[in-house]
Amino acid sequence: MRILFLGDVVGRPGREVIGAELPSLRENFRIDIVIANGENAAGGFGLTRETANELYASGVDVISTGNHWLDQREIIGLIQEDDRILRPRNYPPGTPGRGANLYQAKNGARILVINVMGRVFMDALDDPFASVEAELAACPLREVADAILIDIHAEATSEKMAMGHFCDGRASVVVGTHSHIPTADAQIFPGGTAYQTDAGACADYDSVIGMEKFEPVQRFTRKMSSGRFSPATGPATLCGIFVETDDRTGLARAIAPVRVGGRLSPALPPA
């Protein structure tokens, strides 16, 4: 299976670069499924029906989220009726939506996508490791799922790396989101799980993690707020990772960073 995961989509620039670049990426690299973290897709905060439909129309199959998933109130109804949208699984029981789901890829294979949120420097939620363990036990690799991808939306790099090693040999991919900066540690762990600490963001990088520079810089330098954060509106870079899995084992055969457009140096998987 050939999987493309896209990092946090920040506002209109992020959605537009996906619309411009994803169709050719899907065709050129024969992508079977595309997962994108969409928690910042609507004006930098949350997800709406309109922005979700825009991502689907561009070729995204599944949308994961994170700590901003509830920023747009309409998401509560949307996430209950649209099983292509995930929220972190380790929210308390009774929270609307789902944190994991089994999807059919373009090639007919089954992929389990799990979305969890870290707890270090983040909201106090249930244990993400226990949440992942429950899903891996219920839907084991090669027994029920042909591939498994885990999006861990977390602040601490240590927590993300610990999740990768915790899942090594039992998941196809563990990828971090939330930091909005692509890390240079794409690798395959000894047990066969592909890993990258943060996929980066689909955003304008002439910014502070995708937001217009003035407001965050002022808050850091003057400890004063003069308004809301808003997405930077320059040309965006599409950031993510490409993973190819072995059809027999479900584990990773290859991982490569993906960066297209905007200010960052380009990176594509081998042809």
Residues annotated as catalytic are 68
The SS3 of residue 75 is helix
Nearest to 39 by CA among 173, 156, 177, 176: 177
Could you tell me if 128 and 90 are in contact, meaning their C-beta atoms sit under 8 angstroms apart?
yes
Which residues, in sequence order, are bridge partners of residue 245? 252
How far apart (Å, rounded) are the C-alpha atoms in residues 162 and 132? 12
Nearest to 72 by CA among 11, 13, 159, 150: 11
Could you tell me if 202 and 8 are in contact, meaning their C-beta atoms sit under 8 angstroms apart?
yes
Q: Give me 242's structure tokens.
A: 């490409």
Q: Give me 47's structure tokens.
A: 């997800």
Helix 11-28 vs helix 49-58: crossing angle, to nearest 10: 30
DSSP 8-state class, residue 142: T
